Amino acid sequence: MNLGRRSSKPSQHAVWVFLAPFALLTLVFVAYPLIQSAVLAMQQTYGPGTKTFVGTRNFTDAAADPVFWTALRNTIIYTLGSLFIQLPLALALALALNSPRLRGRSGYRLIFFSPQLMGLVFVSILAALMFEKQAGLINQSLHTLTGGLWSLDFPWLESHVMATLILISLWMYVGFNMIYFLAALQNVDHALIEASAIDGANSWHRFRHVVLPAIRPVGTFVVMLSMIGSLQLFELPFVLLEGTGGPRNQGLTVVMYLYQSGFEVGDLGYASAIGWVLALLLMSLACVQMWMIRREGR
Amino acid sequence: MNFATLIMAARGMPLGLWVMVLLMLCSVTVLFSGQRTNEDAVRLWVFSPTHRDLYNPMLDRAGAEVGVPLDMRLMSILAIERRMMSGFFSGLPTADLIECERAIVGRAFVGPLEAVGFLDLTDRLREEGLLDQINAPSFGPWTSRGRIFGIPHDVHPVMLAYRADLVEQAGIDLSDVETWQDFFRAMRPLMGESTNPQRYILGFWYTHLDNVEVLLLQGGDGLFDDQDRPTIATQSNAHILAEIVSWCVGPNRVAADIEDFSGTGHQQRIDGYGIAYLAPDWMCSIWKEQIPQIGGKMKIMPLPAFHPGGRRTSVRGGTMLGIARDSHQIEEAWKHAKLLYTSPQVARQMYQLTDIITPVSSLWNDPVFDEPDPFFMDQPKGRMYIDQAPHVPARSSSPYNRQAVVLLRDAAVSLAEHARRTRTYDSQALQPEAFRLLSDVESKILRVMERNAFSGAVR
DSSP string, B33-67: TSPPP-TTSEEEEE--HHHHHHHGGGHHHHHHHHS
Chain mean pLDDT for chain B: 92
Alpha-carbon span A115 to A172, nearest angstrom:
5
Amino acid at B65: E
**CA–CA gap between residue B229 and residue B272 (Å, rounded):** 41
Residue B417 near residue A159 (C-beta atoms within 8 A) = yes
Q: What is the pLDDT of residue B196?
A: 60
Closest partner CB to A135 (pick from B209, B264, B453): B264
Using the Cβ of B453 and the Cβ atoms of chain A, whether some distance falls under 8 Å is answered with yes
| A284 touches B at CB < 8 Å | no
* Poorest-pLDDT segment among B270-284, B311-325, B398-412: B398-412
**Cβ atoms of residues B268 and B204 within 8 Å:** no
Which residues touch B335 (CB under 8 Å, ≥6 apart)? B65, B66
Q: Report whether pLDDT(B383) > 80.
A: yes
Q: What residues does B322 pair with on adjacent strands?
A: B98
B83 in contact with chain A, both atoms CB, cutoff 8 A: no
Work out the average pLDDT over B44-49: 95
Q: Cβ distance A236 to A13 under 8 Å? A: no
Q: Give phi and psi for A192, each to the nearest 5.
A: -65, -40
Q: Say if residue B457's pLDDT is above 50.
A: no
| Cβ atoms A42, A53 nearer than 8 A | yes
CB-based contact, A137 to chain B, within 8 Å? no
Task: Give the per-residue pLDDT at B91.
Answer: 82
CB distance from B107 to chain A under 8 Å? yes
Whether residue B414 lies within 8 A of chain A, CB to CB, comes out as yes
- Do B384 and B375 meet the contact criterion of CB atoms below 8 Å apart? no
Percent of chain B surpassing pLDDT 70: 95
Rounded to the nearest 5 degrees, what angle is found at the Cα of B454, between the Cα atoms of B453 and B458?
95
How far apart are alpha carbons B416 and A159 in whole angstroms?
11
Per residue, the 3-state secondary structure of chain A, as one string, reads: CCHHHHHHCCCHHHHHHHHHHHHHHHHHHHHHHHHHHHHHCCEEECCCCCEEECCCHHHHHHHCCHHHHHHHHHHHHHHHHHHHHHHHHHHHHHHHHCCCCCCCHHHHHHHHHHHHHHCHHHHHHHHHHHCCCCCCHHHHHHHHHCCCCCCCCCCHHHHCHHHHHHHHHHHHHHHHHHHHHHHHHHCCCHHHHHHHHHCCCCHHHHHHHHHHHHHHHHHHHHHHHHHHHHHCCCHHHHHHCCCCCCHHHCCCCHHHHHHHHHHHCCCHHHHHHHHHHHHHHHHHHHHHHHHHHHHHHC
pLDDT tens profile A73-96: 999 999 999 889 999 999 999 999
Of B89, B273, B413, the CB nearest to A47: B89
Q: Quick one: pLDDT band at residue A27, thresholds 50, 70, 90?
A: very high
Residues 6+ apart with CB under 8 A from B253: B200, B247
The distance of A125 to chain B (nearest Cα, Å) reads: 12
From the CA of A295, how many Å to the nearest CA of chain B?
A: 44
CB contact under 8 Å between B115 and A46, yes or no, is: yes
Judge whether A158 is closer than 8 Å to chain B, CB to CB.
Answer: yes
Cβ–Cβ of A49/B454 closer than 8 Å? no
* B330 or B196, greater pLDDT: B330
Contact call for B451 and A267, based on CB within 8 A: yes
> In the structure, what pLDDT confidence band is assigned to residue B95 with cuts at 50, 70 and 90?
very high
Task: From chain B, pick out residues whose CB is under 8 angstroms from the CB of A270.
Answer: 451
- Residues of B within 8 A of A50 (CB-CB) are 111-112, 115, 454
Amino acid at B303: L
Q: How confident is the model at residue B458 (pLDDT cuts 50, 70, 90)?
A: very low
A140 touches chain B (CB under 8 A): no
- A125 or B38: whose pLDDT is higher? A125
Confidence of residue B168 (pLDDT cuts 50, 70, 90): very high
Given this model, what pLDDT does residue B459 score? 43
Q: CA geometry: angle at A163 spanning A160 and A166, to 5°?
A: 150
**A46 and B207 in contact by Cβ < 8 A?**
no
Question: pLDDT of A43-74, one tens digit each?
Answer: 988 877 788 899 999 999 999 999 999 999 99
B11 in contact with A at a CB cutoff of 8 Å? Answer: no
CB spacing of A159 vs B413 below 8 angstroms: yes
Taking CB atoms and an 8 Å limit, are A47 and B88 in contact across chains?
Answer: yes
Rounded-to-integer distance, Cα B165 and Cα B163, Å = 5
Cβ contact, residue pair B402, A264, below 8 Å? yes
Nearest residue in chain A measured CA to CA from B82:
A263
Whether the Cβ atoms of residue B452 and residue B110 lie closer than 8 Å to each other:
yes
Beta-carbon contacts of B294 under 8 Å, excluding residues fewer than 6 positions away, are B163, B269, B270, B287
What residue in B sits closest to A257 (Cα-Cα)?
A: B403
Give the tens place of pLDDT for each residue, B65-87: 999 999 999 999 989 998 999 89
pLDDT number for residue B27:
87
Cβ pair B215, B434 in contact under 8 A: no
Higher-confidence position of B429 and B20: B429
- For residue A233, the distance in angstroms to the closest alpha carbon of chain B comes to 21
On whether ipTM exceeds 0.90, the answer is: no
Task: List chain B residues with CB under 8 Å of A133.
Answer: 257
Q: Which helix (H) or strand (E) holds B248?
A: helix B235-248
Q: What pLDDT does B36 receive?
A: 60
Q: Give me the residues of A, 179-238, that contact B with CB < 8 A.
A: none
d(CA A270, CA A139): 40
Q: B133-152: per-residue pLDDT in tens?
A: 999 999 999 999 999 999 99
- Cα dihedral B75/B80/B83/B86 (nearest 10): 180
Give the one of A48, A158, A265 whose C-beta lies nearest to B413's C-beta: A158
Q: What is the mean pLDDT of chain A?
A: 89
Query: What single DSSP character describes residue B207?
Result: T
Question: What is the mean predicted confidence (pLDDT) over B8-30?
Answer: 82
Measured between CB atoms, does A296 come within 8 Å of chain B?
no
Tell me, yes or no, if A52 comes closer than 8 A to chain B by beta carbon.
Answer: yes
The whole-angstrom separation of Cα A260 and Cα B17 is 44
pLDDT in tens, A205-246: 999 999 999 998 899 889 988 998 999 999 999 999 988 888
Closest partner CB to A46 (pick from B90, B110, B414): B110
pLDDT of residue A14: 85
Residues B241, B453 contacting (CB under 8 angstroms): no
Which chain B residues touch A54 with a CB distance below 8 Å? 453
Tell me if chain B has a CB within 8 Å of the CB of A244.
yes
The whole-angstrom separation of Cα B380 and Cα A224 is: 64
Residues of chain A contacting residue B454, judged by C-beta atoms under 8 Å apart: 44, 46, 50, 52
> How many beta-carbon pairs under 8 angstroms link A with B?
77
Tell me the β-bridge partners of B323: B97
Q: Which of B111, B264, B417 sits opposite A134 (nearest CB)?
A: B264
The pLDDT-based confidence of A33 (bands split at 50, 70, 90) is very high
Closest to B342 measured CA to CA, from B159, B135, B195: B135
Listed by number, the residues of chain A in 96-115 with a beta carbon closer than 8 Å to a beta carbon of chain B are none
Query: Would the CA dihedral through B266, B270, B274, B276 be positive or negative?
Result: positive
CB B201 within 8 A of CB B255: yes
Q: Is B110's CB within 8 Å of A153's CB? A: no
Contacts of B273 in chain A (CB under 8 A): 134
Put simply, whether B403 touches A (Cβ < 8 Å) is yes
Please list every residue in chain B whose beta carbon sits closer than 8 Å to the beta carbon of residue A61: 451
pLDDT of A4 above 60: no
Binary contact (B264, A266; C-beta < 8 A): no
Contact by Cβ (8 Å): A49, B89? yes
Nearest to A44 among B268, B414, B453 (CB): B453
Q: How many CA within 13 A on the CB side of residue A197?
A: 8
